[in-house]
Structure 1
Amino acid sequence: MNLKITGLNFDVTEAVKKHVAAKLERINRHTDNVISVTVTLSVEKVNKKAEADVHLVGKDLHVEAVESDMYAAIDVLMDKLDRAVLKHKGKSNDVRSAPAPAVVEEE
């Protein structure tokens, strides 16, 4: 998995990078189809915004969260991302596990 963390109007410290990487471990436990993750952290006056673009096999996900604290925004972002990945995983498993429709030949 490729991980890219960028900051807009925000200096990304080593502690923030470690926090994001630790939270992403939970996503890796749910699916192994993650190709790359791009996390963008930005500051807009008093609001801290965290966005993530996740490239999965067959699907791209975009999730964002806005909070008053950067660590809280990252935590909320990872919760949303976790739900989105589980939802995608459930949908893809439902399609694969559905039986193929029977073909009826008319004579």
Structure 2
Amino acid sequence: MNFKLSGHHLEITQPLREYVETKLERVIRHFDQVIGVSVLLTVDNQTEKDKRQRAEINLHLKGKDIFVESHHEDLYAAIDALVDKLDRQVIKHKDKVQNHDRVALKYQATADEARL
């Protein structure tokens, strides 16, 4: 898995890098077919102080790319919200890929015979 962490108007410190990596372990635990992760942390110079910190992620999975972004006044809270959103989307994608609600052909044939 390729992992890229970058910051705009922000220096990426070692504790911040470790925090992002530990949060992303939860996503990788749910779906192990992750090819690449690109995280961008930004501090905007807006007049609004409540949504000044922004975190966005581009997750490259086998068969799909997922993009999620989050805004908050605290960067760590923005990362938490980002990982929550990403986790929901990855689980939804995993369910679509696995799709356990199909009926196997051998059971479908016996169900058709039972209706007759």
Provide the rounded CA distance (Å) in 1 between the counterparts of 2:58 and 2:102: 29
The alpha carbon displacement at 1:15 in A equals 0.7
Bigger radius of gyration among the two: 2
The alpha carbon displacement at 1:100 in A equals 7.6
Provide the rounded CA distance (Å) in 2 between the counterparts of 1:99 and 1:34: 28
Matches within 5 A, 1:1-107: 1-45=1-45, 46=49, 47-94=52-99, 98-99=102-103
1:105 equivalent in structure 2: none
The alpha carbon displacement at 1:97 in A equals 5.6
Provide the rounded CA distance (Å) in 2 between the counterparts of 1:3 and 1:99: 38
Secondary structure of the equivalent of 1:7? strand
**TM, length-normalised to structure 2:** 0.81
What is the aligned-residue identity percentage?
46
- How many matched pairs? 101
| Structure 1 residue ranges (4+ consecutive) displaced by more than 3 angstroms after TM superposition | 99-102
Deviations 1:18-57 (A, max 9, x none): 0000001101110110011000000113310000000000
User: Which of the two has greater strand per residue?
Assistant: 1
Provide the rounded CA distance (Å) in 2 between the counterparts of 1:70 and 1:3: 19
The alpha carbon displacement at 1:98 in A equals 2.5
Unaligned runs of 5+ in 2: 109-116
Q: Counterpart of 2:94 in structure 1: which amino acid?
A: K
